[in-house]
């Protein structure tokens, strides 16, 4: 995420906007708080100066491509490897029109978490990241320093096995405390790229009354189960959870136990 | 309080197996209550969770043996889905013995009766399901408005009743047929 | 064991296969029939249950899964009664065993001496 | 919504353990839906008219036999009289009378899918002895059915065309008879037979019981008739590879294996057989008791009378040399370059007549079948006594060719055997064909002593018992009640160690020939064909009939019919009867131009569907397609292809896809009612 990567991104964005090849650019720009950049659309070249790309750009841009590919003209989008996996899933599920997306893969050395503006270590999903290639792209910028140097070798399913090895009541206790902290803000659902149903079955107005722990448990069972076989483990759900609940464990448990439907002859 | 078992049986094999257990007069515990579905792949994760919310203590999904499904590949999907769902529920602390997936063919009446007896005994050993039971996904607002409803059970179902009538009348409006109170 | 005997359909394969059936006063299919009809006591008086060699030929052949040899063993009640030709109770069978005695006989003797091995 | 509940006594079947009167009352109790007044009377009780918005059970009654005339009339009258908008029938399994009661509802003007069945017989009264528990459970099941019918929407079945063509799998007597009957009704039939000639096991038999008429004499005319019938297309030396679709529009792929001989040119003269150098191949038709050449016609009266090149043994195909048969063939019919041919065809109905095999006797070492040439199976005996058999019909011992002085028959070899090595069922035909064999021996060699070891002699057919008694009384066949423990080959003859139950003593005898009545089992690839047709098979591998008593020749899979040994052990008269019955059922469908299709199909809600396509992959029938090219796409279900399994509805996360008749709401309501 060196500086010249950002410069190249800006120049490329300006070129494509000027040439009319794309009608808008989807990237990050400085957010309200320091070290907290936000996704943004850039419609004209001189706005491209505000394009930002550093280790604080943790947001996954692929979900914004759903509505982006609905209006006319192509959209230029910068994707890190994990975002690119999410986009392939969205394309497979007919939510993003591949022809309307011009994809530039940008190099990634792992993003960091920020707590009150202070940087404190790599994101959990980057700690266990195994995604160093780009499953889908039209162009690559600054990816020569991939594979990321910051891999720390923590095994991806280590957290899952740790919980699995405890007995049923311990597991129940663990999730009871974790999920009772859930305030049902739906952030995990809104950020998740594969959570794109028009009307979510959990979207019942009566649910907004004070949530009870049982309801939280079923909410999260269903949210996780609905990504069974679809979740690309981008880690956004755990990242955005204001209560810091390790939601990625649920999805990773399903990924770990995932067996495709094999139909013997 | 006796335990409550909900069994989803596929119409072509396990439901016919249950009928055969009946014609052969092979008794099994009466806590087992069977819901007929066209194929085991019709069983949605919402139904399994709904059963536990509403007070079931054990859920067993029965289908045809792999390869014998009347709809060719239905039970292969059931196997993948239920193993994932049961694994996730187990991961979240529910006792794995409350969940069962069984392949029972139309000619295995004895196997049906034995399976149901065995499963009921297994769930009885665990006792009532406390971990994943209780009031939830209630249409709380509907309850308060429905003053004249006497006992809670009626209120509970009245809520559903109000929900159902408006769904029937307002077909066009996008009430979600799988809306939350359905789970 | 009794509940199992009602599976017998009196086809006679056990007695047909039994090497000792000719010498027995009550061939295997008969003692299964008697035990099934509650004649447990009279079976205990017969010589046949002592002549049984525990070779399990009958059990290998039975199409209904009945176990005549085990029934005989149960009828023997496990009391050790195995006398040599002088009628003396043979105590320490394994000590006197030598490789000239057919393996079959040894197993039968051990089973009858109240040391059921399997 | 005004609901009526009807509780059936089913004579005593339900009434014995379920308090039907109490049940009829309790379904009306207010605990559910506001119907206040409860009138404790056996007579049908009516509640005051309930306000339309609240659903209530306005009518309930119990009756002795609801499925009978009077019961159905009570339902139709109640519907019209009380303006019922939903009916729940608490009776036997929906698999029994759902159609009956739904037709009754339709007669009264109520949409048949507004009627639901609560199974309080097979799944309640018959399996729960305690009266209170059974009644509570019956009430719970009734509540579930009421909850389901409350949310039921009227459904109207669609239609689907019927392909006027039948596929018959298996060319034995069952397949031939079915094909002939369907063809006679004027419909095209494809008869597919795995072996080079039709005729099946019956062609191997010598005589048939109980009339002892010669098997070939009654079979070959039918084989010729089938081959020459203008509506029947014969596919011999062919196998069905794939079957798709459903009743009215099946598509099947038939693999016509390369015969190596051009059927049209070949005159059946047999010169090529004589020319073939490979003479030592065991002939399957003769059960291995005689040999054949690499290019062979299975038996003299084979239809089609055209040879086949056995590629595993033919020298040309193994090492590219020898083309002698080609040289010997004047009409130049030999064609080594012939390839397997795949034929895809559409059918309205399929008849499975795949027949049987005798079981392998490897697990029955005690009879010494594999160690002694003179221990043979009954099918091999049929070839021995058959005039066109290896010995020209003379009864000669396979070991030394002498006439046996004593023949021993052993019954129930593998049959009536609950252990793993045998079959738990009785093979039904062995007692009769053994009596036949005994009579045939005694007719040719009255001096030969014939003994039969049996458990029970079963003669359950017309003039079967008289036939068996004739064997004993007129021909002096000795029947010994008991079984054989061992058969030991001793210097040229066989020693039998057996038990005579009536003598209650050992029975030892020395005999010259032992014939084992081996059990029957479904033919080798019945399981594969069952899978292809998605037709259920039972624990023993026989194809299961839809209902053992009421629908014996239909499979549970609509449009698939069964006949002959494929469905279970039976003799030739029953097989032919079943074949004609299956043909008649098949014709019943082929006569129709349109078939009413199952209306319980999936439906996608356009407002909720975002075209994610998770359901498309689940559908085994490819009934779901996404409409419109550009975004946002929506899926739609082709209700003609959809069979209503519901896999897509469960796969859809947002609940946009729903299955009519088993909707999310209905099943959720059932779950609620069962757990109250």
Nearest residue, CB atoms, A164 vs list B91, B182, B183:
B91
| A116 lies in the same domain as A188 | no
Q: Where are the alpha helices (DSSP H) in A24-80?
A: 64-68
What is the mean predicted confidence (pLDDT) over D344-350?
A: 96
Question: For the CA atoms of chain C, what is the radius of gyration?
Answer: 14
**The overall pTM is greater than 0.80:** no
Condensed to tens digits (0 to 9), the pLDDT of residues D440-481 reads: 999 999 999 999 999 999 999 999 999 999 999 999 999 999
Contact A66, A196 (CB under 8 A): yes
For position B158, what pLDDT does the model report? 30
Cα distance from D374 to chain C (closest Cα, Å)? 21
CA distance A201 to B180: 5
CA distance D374 to D384: 12
Domains of chain A: total: 2
Contact D82, D46 (CB under 8 A): yes
Domain range enclosing A46:
3-141
Domain boundaries, chain B: 5-126, 140-182
CA distance D179 to D235: 12
For position D622, what pLDDT does the model report? 82
A186 inside domain: yes
| A137 lies in the same domain as A7 | yes
Nearest residue, CB atoms, B183 vs list A163, A201, A228:
A201
**C29 and D499: CB-CB below 8 Å?**
yes
For position C92, what pLDDT does the model report? 61
What is the mean predicted confidence (pLDDT) over D9-23?
A: 93
Cα distance from B180 to chain A (closest Cα, Å)? 5
User: Could you read off the pLDDT tens digit of each residue along chain A, which spans 265 residues?
Assistant: 778 888 999 999 999 999 989 999 999 999 888 888 999 999 888 888 899 898 888 899 999 999 888 888 899 999 998 899 999 999 999 899 898 999 999 988 888 888 877 788 888 888 888 777 888 999 988 877 665 544 555 788 888 999 999 999 999 999 999 998 888 888 999 999 999 988 888 876 555 556 778 888 888 999 999 999 999 989 899 999 999 999 999 999 999 999 888 765 4
Length of chain B: 183
Condensed to tens digits (0 to 9), the pLDDT of residues B86-101 reads: 999 999 999 999 999 9
In the structure encoding, which two tokens stand for residue A155, read together?
Answer: 């095994």
DSSP D91-124: ES-HHHHHHHHHHHHHHTTS-GGGEEEEE-IIII
Condensed to tens digits (0 to 9), the pLDDT of residues D554-581 reads: 998 889 999 999 999 999 999 999 999 9
| A98 lies in the same domain as A10 | yes
Condensed to tens digits (0 to 9), the pLDDT of residues D92-125 reads: 999 989 999 999 999 999 999 999 999 999 999 9
A residues 190..209 contacting B (CB < 8 A): 198-207, 209
Q: Where are the alpha helices (DSSP H) in D386-506?
A: 430-444, 464-473
The answer to whether residue A163 neighbours chain B at the CB level (below 8 Å) is: yes
Condensed to tens digits (0 to 9), the pLDDT of residues D125-168 reads: 999 999 999 999 999 999 999 999 999 999 998 888 999 999 99
Q: Give me the CATH topology for the region C1-78.
A: Fumarate Reductase Iron-sulfur Protein; Chain B, domain 2 (1.10.1060)
CA distances from B114 to B22, B48, B101, B120, D122 (A): 13, 22, 14, 10, 16
Nearest residue, CB atoms, D654 vs list A70, A93, A199:
A199
For position B89, what pLDDT does the model report? 94
CA distance D586 to D182: 8
For position A205, what pLDDT does the model report? 55
Length of chain A: 265
Question: CA D406, D407, D411: angle at the middle one, nearest 5?
Answer: 145
| A135 lies in the same domain as A175 | no
Among chain D residues, CA nearest to B16: D95
Condensed to tens digits (0 to 9), the pLDDT of residues B22-74 reads: 999 999 999 999 999 999 999 999 999 999 988 899 999 999 998 888 888 89
**D412 and C11: CB-CB below 8 Å?**
yes
Contact D633, D596 (CB under 8 A): no
**Nearest CA among B162, B40, B141 for reference residue D150:** B162
How many C/D residue pairs have CB atoms within 8 Å? 65
Residues of chain D with CATH 3.50.50.60: 165-257+340-355+523-590, 358-521
Residues of chain D with CATH 3.40.50: 2-150
Burial class of residue A260 (count of CB atoms within 10 Å of its CB; 0-12, 13-18, 19+) = exposed
| A44 lies in the same domain as A167 | no
CA distance D82 to D78: 6
CA distance D271 to D264: 16
The better pLDDT of the pair A204, D268 is held by D268
**Residue C88 clears pLDDT 60, i.e. is over it:** no
Contact D608, D655 (CB under 8 A): yes
| A7 lies in the same domain as A107 | yes
Distance in angstroms between the alpha carbons of the first and the last residue of chain A: 49
For position D630, what pLDDT does the model report? 63
- How many Cβ atoms from other residues are within 10 Å of residue D244's Cβ? 16
**Nearest CA among B171, B149, B45, B49 for reference residue B160:** B149
Q: Which residues contact A106 (CB under 8 A, 6 or more apart)?
A: A1, A5, A9, A53, A78, A79, A80, A140, A141, A142, A143
Contact D520, D358 (CB under 8 A): yes
For position D40, what pLDDT does the model report? 32
CA distance D443 to D436: 10
**D534 and B70: CB-CB below 8 Å?**
yes
**A95 and D612: CB-CB below 8 Å?**
yes
How is the beta sheet containing D238-246 ordered, strand by strand? D238-246, D249-256, D341-347
- How many Cβ atoms from other residues are within 10 Å of residue B104's Cβ? 28
CA distance D99 to D123: 19
A217 inside domain: yes
The answer to whether residue B142 neighbours chain A at the CB level (below 8 Å) is: yes
The better pLDDT of the pair D54, D151 is held by D151
- D2-150 — its CATH code? 3.40.50
Q: Does C contact B via 3+ CB–CB distances below 8 Å?
A: no
pLDDT band of D51, cuts 50, 70, 90: very low
The better pLDDT of the pair A194, D51 is held by A194
Length of chain D: 676
In the structure encoding, which two tokens stand for residue A13, read together?
Answer: 């964005």
Q: Is D555 helix (H, G, I), strand (E, B) or coil?
A: strand
The answer to whether residue A200 neighbours chain D at the CB level (below 8 Å) is: yes
Beta bridge partners of D252: D243, D345
- Residues in chain B closer than 8 A to A180 (CB atoms): none
The better pLDDT of the pair A52, D47 is held by A52
CA distances from D468 to B65, B170, D211, D387 (A): 43, 75, 12, 24
Q: Give me the CATH topology for the region D358-521.
A: FAD/NAD(P)-binding domain (3.50.50)
A232 inside domain: yes
Burial class of residue A47 (count of CB atoms within 10 Å of its CB; 0-12, 13-18, 19+) = middle
Residue B134 Ramachandran class (φ > 0 left, ψ -120 to 50 alpha, else beta): left
pLDDT band of D663, cuts 50, 70, 90: very high
Domain end residue (candidates: A114, A141, A168): A141
CA A60, A66, A67, A72 torsion: positive or negative?
Answer: positive
What is the Cβ-side half-sphere exposure of residue D85, based on CA atoms within 13 angstroms? 15
Cα distance from B175 to chain A (closest Cα, Å)? 9
| A103 lies in the same domain as A226 | no
**Nearest CA among D217, D207, D531 for reference residue D354:** D531
Q: Which CATH superfamily is domain D165-257+340-355+523-590 in?
A: FAD/NAD(P)-binding domain (3.50.50.60)
In the structure encoding, which two tokens stand for residue B175, read together?
Answer: 């009430």
Cα distance from A33 to chain B (closest Cα, Å)? 36
CA distance D206 to D394: 12
**Nearest CA among D202, D324, D147, D41 for reference residue D570:** D202
Contact C24, C32 (CB under 8 A): no
In the structure encoding, which two tokens stand for residue B39, read together?
Answer: 């194929």
**Residue B134 clears pLDDT 80, i.e. is over it:** no
The answer to whether residue D366 neighbours chain C at the CB level (below 8 Å) is: yes
Q: Give me the CATH topology for the region B5-126.
A: Rossmann fold (3.40.50)
Domain boundaries, chain C: 1-78, 80-113
Cα distance from C88 to chain D (closest Cα, Å)? 31
CA distance D58 to D49: 7
Beta bridge partners of D239: D255
Q: What are chain A's partners, defined as 3 or more CB pairs within 8 angstroms? A: B, D
What is the mean predicted confidence (pLDDT) over D609-634?
A: 82
CA distances from D85 to D1, D57, D160, D232 (A): 6, 10, 29, 51
Q: Give me the CATH topology for the region D602-660.
A: Alpha-Beta Plaits (3.30.70)
Contact C4, C67 (CB under 8 A): yes
Contact D295, D246 (CB under 8 A): no
Question: CA D41, D90, D664: angle at the middle one, nearest 5?
Answer: 130
CA distance D646 to D657: 9
D residues 50..69 contacting B (CB < 8 A): 53-55
Domain end residue (candidates: A110, A141, A172): A141
Contact A233, A248 (CB under 8 A): yes
HEC profile of A104-148: EEECCCCCEEEECCEEEEECHHHHCCCCCCCCCCCEEECCCCCCC
């Amino acid at each position: 995420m060196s500086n010249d990567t950002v410069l190249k991104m800006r120049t490329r964005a300006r070129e494509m906007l000027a040439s009319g090849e794309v009608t808008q650019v989807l990237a990050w720009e400085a957010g309200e708080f320091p070290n907290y950049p936000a996704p943004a659309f850039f419609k004209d070249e001189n706005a491209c100066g505000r394009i930002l790309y550093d280790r604080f750009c943790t947001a996954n841009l692929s979900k914004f491509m759903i509505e982006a590919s609905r209006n006319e003209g192509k959209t230029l989008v910068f994707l890190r490897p994990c975002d690119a996996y999410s986009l392939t899933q969205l394309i497979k599920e007919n939510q993003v029109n591949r022809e309307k997306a011009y994809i530039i893969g940008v190099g990634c050395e792992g993003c960091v978490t920020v707590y009150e503006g202070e940087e404190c270590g790599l994101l959990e999903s980057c700690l266990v990241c195994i995604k160093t290639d780009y499953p889908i792209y039209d162009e690559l910028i600054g990816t020569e320093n991939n594979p990321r140097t910051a891999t720390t070798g923590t095994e991806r399913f280590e957290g899952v096995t740790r919980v699995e090895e405890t007995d049923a009541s311990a597991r129940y206790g663990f999730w009871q405390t974790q999920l009772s902290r859930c305030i049902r803000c739906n952030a995990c659902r809104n950020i998740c790229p594969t959570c794109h149903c028009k009307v979510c079955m959990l979207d019942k107005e009566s649910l907004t009354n004070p949530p009870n722990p049982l309801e939280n448990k079923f909410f999260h069972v269903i949210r996780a189960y609905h990504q069974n076989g679809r979740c690309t483990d981008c880690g956004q759900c755990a990242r955005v959870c204001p209560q810091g609940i390790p939601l990625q464990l649920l999805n990773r448990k399903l990924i770990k136990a995932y067996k495709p439907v094999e139909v013997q002859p | 309080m006796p335990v409550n078992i909900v069994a989803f049986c596929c119409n072509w094999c396990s439901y016919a197996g249950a009928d055969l257990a009946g014609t052969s007069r092979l008794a099994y515990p009466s806590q087992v209550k069977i819901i007929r579905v066209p194929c085991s792949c019709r069983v949605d994760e919402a139904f399994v969770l709904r059963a536990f919310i509403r007070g079931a203590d054990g859920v067993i999904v029965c289908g045809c043996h792999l390869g014998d499904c009347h709809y060719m590949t239905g039970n292969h999907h059931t196997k993948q889905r239920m193993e994932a769902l049961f694994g996730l529920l187990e991961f979240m602390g529910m006792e794995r013995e409350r969940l069962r997936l069984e392949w029972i063919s139309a000619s295995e009446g004895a196997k049906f009766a034995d399976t149901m007896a065995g499963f009921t005994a297994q769930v009885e050993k665990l006792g009532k399901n406390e971990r994943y039971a209780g009031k939830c996904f209630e249409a709380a607002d509907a309850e308060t408005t429905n003053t004249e409803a006497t006992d809670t059970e009626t209120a509970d179902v009245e809520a559903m009743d109000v929900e159902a009538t408006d769904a029937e009348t307002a077909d066009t409006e996008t009430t979600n047929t799988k809306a939350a109170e359905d789970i | 064991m009794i509940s199992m005997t009602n599976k017998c359909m009196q086809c006679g394969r056990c007695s047909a296969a039994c090497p000792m059936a000719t010498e027995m006063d009550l061939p295997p299919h008969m003692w299964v029939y008697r035990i099934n009809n509650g004649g447990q006591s009279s079976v205990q008086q017969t010589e046949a249950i002592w002549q049984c060699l525990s070779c399990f030929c009958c059990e290998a052949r039975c199409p209904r899964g009945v176990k005549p040899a085990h029934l005989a063993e149960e009828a023997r009640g496990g009391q050790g009664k195995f006398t040599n030709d002088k009628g003396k109770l043979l105590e320490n069978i394994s000590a006197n065993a030598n490789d000239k005695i057919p393996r079959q006989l040894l197993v039968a003797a051990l089973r009858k001496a109240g040391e059921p091995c399997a | 919504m005004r609901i009526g509940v009807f509780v059936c006594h089913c004579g005593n079947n339900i009434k014995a353990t379920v308090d039907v009167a109490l049940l009829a009352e309790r379904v009306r109790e207010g605990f559910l839906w506001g119907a206040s007044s409860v009138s404790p009377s056996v007579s049908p009780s009516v509640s005051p008219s309930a306000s339309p918005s609240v659903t209530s059970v306005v009518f309930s009654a119990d009756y002795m036999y609801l499925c009978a005339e009077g019961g159905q009339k009570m339902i139709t009258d109640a519907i019209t009289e009380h303006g019922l908008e939903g009916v729940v029938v608490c009776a036997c399994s929906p698999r029994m009378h759902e159609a009956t009661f739904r037709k009754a509802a339709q007669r009264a003007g109520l949409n048949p899918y507004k009627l639901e069945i609560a199974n309080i017989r097979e799944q309640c009264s018959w399996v729960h002895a305690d009266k209170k528990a059974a009644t509570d459970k019956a009430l719970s099941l009734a509540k579930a059915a009421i909850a389901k019918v409350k949310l039921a929407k009227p459904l109207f079945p669609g239609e689907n065309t019927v392909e006027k063509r039948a596929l018959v799998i298996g060319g034995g007597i069952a397949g031939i008879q079915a094909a002939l009957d369907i063809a006679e009704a004027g419909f095209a039939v494809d008869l597919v037979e795995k072996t080079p000639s039709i005729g099946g096991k019956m062609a191997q038999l010598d005589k048939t019981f109980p009339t002892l008429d010669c098997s070939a004499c009654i079979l070959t005319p039918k084989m010729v008739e089938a081959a020459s019938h203008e509506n029947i297309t014969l596919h011999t030396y062919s196998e069905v590879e794939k079957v798709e679709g459903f009743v009215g529009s099946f598509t099947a792929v038939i693999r016509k294996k390369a015969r190596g001989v051009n059927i049209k040119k070949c005159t059946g003269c047999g010169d090529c057989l004589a020319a073939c150098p490979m003479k030592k191949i065991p002939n399957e038709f003769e059960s291995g008791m005689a040999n054949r050449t690499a290019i062979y016609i299975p038996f003299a009266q084979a239809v089609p009378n055209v040879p086949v090149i056995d590629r595993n043994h033919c020298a040309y195909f193994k090492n590219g040399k020898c083309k002698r048969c080609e040289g010997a063939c004047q009409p130049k019919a030999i064609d080594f370059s012939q390839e397997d041919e795949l034929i895809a065809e559409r059918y309205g109905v399929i008849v499975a007549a795949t027949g049987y095999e005798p079981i392998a006797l490897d697990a029955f070492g005690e009879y010494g079948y594999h160690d002694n040439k003179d221990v043979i199976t009954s099918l091999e005996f049929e070839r021995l006594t058959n005039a066109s058999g290896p010995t020209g019909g003379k009864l000669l011992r396979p070991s030394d060719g002498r006439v046996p002085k004593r023949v021993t028959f052993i019954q129930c070899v593998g049959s009536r055997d609950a252990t793993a090595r045998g079959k738990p069922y009785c093979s039904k035909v062995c007692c009769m064909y053994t009596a036949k064999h005994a009579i045939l021996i005694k007719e040719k060699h009255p001096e030969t002593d014939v003994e039969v070891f049996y458990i029970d002699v079963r003669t359950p057919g017309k003039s079967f018992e008289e036939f068996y008694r004739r064997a004993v009384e007129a021909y002096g066949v000795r029947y010994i009640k008991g079984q054989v423990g061992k058969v030991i080959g001793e210097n040229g003859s066989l020693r039998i160690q057996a038990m005579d139950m009536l003598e209650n003593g050992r029975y030892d005898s020395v005999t010259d020939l032992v014939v084992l009545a081996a059990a029957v089992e479904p033919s080798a690839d019945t399981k594969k064909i069952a899978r292809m047709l998605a037709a259920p098979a039972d624990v023993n591998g026989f194809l299961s009939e839809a209902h053992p008593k009421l629908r014996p020749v239909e499979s549970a899979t609509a449009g698939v019919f069964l006949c002959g040994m494929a469905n279970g052990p039976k003799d030739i008269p029953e097989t032919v009867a079943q074949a004609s019955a299956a043909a008649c059922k098949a014709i019943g469908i082929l006569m129709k131009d349109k078939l009413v299709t199952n209306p319980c199909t999936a439906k996608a809600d356009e407002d909720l569907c975002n075209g994610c396509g998770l359901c498309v992959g689940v559908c085994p029938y490819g009934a779901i397609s996404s409409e419109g090219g550009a975004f946002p796409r929506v899926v739609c279900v082709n209700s003609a292809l959809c069979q209503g399994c519901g896999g897509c509805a469960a796969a859809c996360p947002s609940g946009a896809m729903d299955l009519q008749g088993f909707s999310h709401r209905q099943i959720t309501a059932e779950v609620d009612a069962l757990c109250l």
